[in-house]
Amino acid sequence: MVSTPTAIGSTSQTPIRASIQALQSDLVAWRRQLHQHPELGFREHLTATFVRERLASWNIAHETGIAQTGIVAILHGTQPGPVLAIRADMDALPILEENEVSYRSKHDGVMHACGHDGHTAIALGTAYYLSQHPHTFRGTVKIIFQPAEEGPGGAAPMIEAGVLRNPEVDAIIGLHLWNNLPLGTVGVRSGPLMAAVEVFDCEIQGKGGHGAIPQQTIDSIVVGAQVVNALQTIVARNVNPLDAAVVTVGTFHAGRAHNVIADTAELSGTVRYFNPVLEDLIPRRFEQVVAGVCNSHGATYRLDYRKLYPAVINDEAIAALVRSVAETVVETPAGVVPDCQTMGGEDMAYFLQKVPGCYFFLGAANESRGLAYPHHHPRFDFDETALGMGVEMFVRCAEKFCS
């Protein structure tokens, strides 16, 4: 069902905030509709239909089916000018929702536990507002509705499909509703914001045998334990102490009995860092450490080391623009939080590798209303007041960049 937003002022003289506040009930309704029908990456068919129907009902030009379920909406100001892209992700997570709310997920085992339902609603609200106020910006605003942020990643295939071209995008912005920050704040900084994400699976092959006769074996548990410890020296001894990085071994499986020496040990984990100079160093040292420890014990190994997303790195000038807009939106300098880096990852990184831009966090937690569970938690939910703030951030950024 396509709803026309509550009538809002259509002249450029209307204060932005009042117009957006009039949209608030629609933003909440859209977000709740999406929340009830969450879909995993590249399967966002209902979500894409929801977005498409609204864009069509507002006569906003758009293209669908990009990188499977992605959509790009194009909004033109009344005069020529620069091109700003705004990116929102649409996918949900394989989590069984534990919230008992009227808008609880109707898809068993799938949940919007990261707030991407809110991102989609905010992008729709932005598209609607800009379509009604074409005199307030020059040039073009492209709104990118992206699939599969949670994996395997929809940003890279959308870029390959040409979403940053025709017209050529000059800058890009995006936001994440953020329960690590309270409602009424915006986390924004230039430079690295979120970490590069890499994962590994490592199988160590020793030689099994009797637990009482170790001299006949190569104990994969002893080798594996040394690998775990030695891997920590990458961060401790190879990475510049002024650069942040983490190597986490998340699983270690080996052995079946008290009196048997295990012939294989399987380890897996994740590596995170901000500085792109580490993108060669860490995987190289990683394999050297695994190989060296295994060799010293006569064990062999199989290592599968995979790079998922690069680091999210914001452009200084665009971050400054977003920061100045945030100061207007939150109305207090204390509400703009530069200290907001996280080792979480985001495929917004790929867009930021291609064009200067800024990804920022929109505070969405409200402890007093029980809305402060972490992202990806089965009780995750956020304060929907943030939806209107998100639209105001995007609209003001668009009007400032395209002025």
144, 163 contact by CB (below 8 A)? yes
**Piece in contact with Ni ion (CB under 5 A), picked from 109-117, 163-171, 198-206, 288-296:** 109-117
What contacts 352, CB < 8 A, 6 or more positions away?
172, 312, 313, 314, 315, 359
State the minimum distance, in angstroms, from the CB of residue 158 to Ni ion. 16
Instruction: Output 114 or 188, the one with its CB closest to Ni ion.
Output: 114
234, 289 contact by CB (below 8 A)? yes
**Piece in contact with Ni ion (CB under 5 A), picked from 90-98, 112-120, 227-235, 383-391:** 112-120
Q: Which of 111, 114, 231, 365 binds Ni ion (CB under 5 A)?
A: 114
**Piece in contact with Ni ion (CB under 5 A), picked from 110-118, 130-138, 200-208, 272-280:** 110-118
Instruction: Output 155 or 293, the one with its CB closest to Ni ion.
Output: 155
State the minimum distance, in angstroms, from the CB of residue 362 to Ni ion. 12
Instruction: Output 114 or 398, the one with its CB closest to Ni ion.
Output: 114
Distance CA 28, CA 46 (A): 18
Instruction: Output 114 or 194, the one with its CB closest to Ni ion.
Output: 114
State the minimum distance, in angstroms, from the CB of residue 99 to Ni ion. 17
Instruction: Output 299 or 371, the one with its CB closest to Ni ion.
Output: 371
State the minimum distance, in angstroms, from the CB of residue 176 to Ni ion. 6
Angle subtended by helix axes 385-401 and 116-132, to nearest 10? 50
What contacts 65, CB < 8 A, 6 or more positions away?
none
Instruction: Output 114 or 278, the one with its CB closest to Ni ion.
Output: 114
Distance CA 24, CA 264 (A): 57
Three-state DSSP string of 177-218 = EEEEEECCCEECCCEEEECEEEEEEEEEECECEECCCHHHCE
CA distances from 46 to 69, 99, 105, 118 (A): 10, 22, 13, 15
Neighbours of 155 (CB within 10 A): 28
Left if phi > 0, otherwise alpha if psi is -120 to 50, otherwise beta: which for 276?
A: alpha
26, 89, 91, 315: the catalytic one is 91
Contacts with Ni ion by CB under 5 A: the residue count is 1
149, 219, 347, 392: the catalytic one is 149
State the minimum distance, in angstroms, from the CB of residue 117 to Ni ion. 11
Phi, psi of 363 (to 5 degrees): -55, 130
3 state DSSP class of 379: coil
DSSP 26-91: HHHHHHHHHHHS---TT--HHHHHHHHHHHHHTT-EEEEEETTTEEEEEEE-SEEEEEEEEEEE--
133, 62 contact by CB (below 8 A)? no
- Told to judge if 91 belongs to the known catalytic residues of this protein, a careful annotator would answer yes
State the minimum distance, in angstroms, from the CB of residue 108 to Ni ion. 21
State the minimum distance, in angstroms, from the CB of residue 376 to Ni ion. 8
**Piece in contact with Ni ion (CB under 5 A), picked from 78-86, 107-115, 130-138, 358-366:** 107-115
Token duo for residue 14: 């209307």
Instruction: Output 77 or 147, the one with its CB closest to Ni ion.
Output: 147
Residue nearest to Ni ion (CB): 114
Distance CA 41, CA 47 (A): 11
State the minimum distance, in angstroms, from the CB of residue 252 to Ni ion. 28
**Piece in contact with Ni ion (CB under 5 A), picked from 54-62, 74-82, 106-114, 382-390:** 106-114
Q: How many CA atoms lie within 13 A of 372 on its CB side?
A: 9
Q: Does 148 bind Ni ion (CB under 5 A)?
A: no
Give residue for tokens 């800058």.
171
Token duo for residue 98: 């534990």
Instruction: Output 105 or 217, the one with its CB closest to Ni ion.
Output: 105
Catalog residues that contact Ni ion under the rule CB under 5 A. 114
Give the residue numbers marked as catalytic: 91, 149
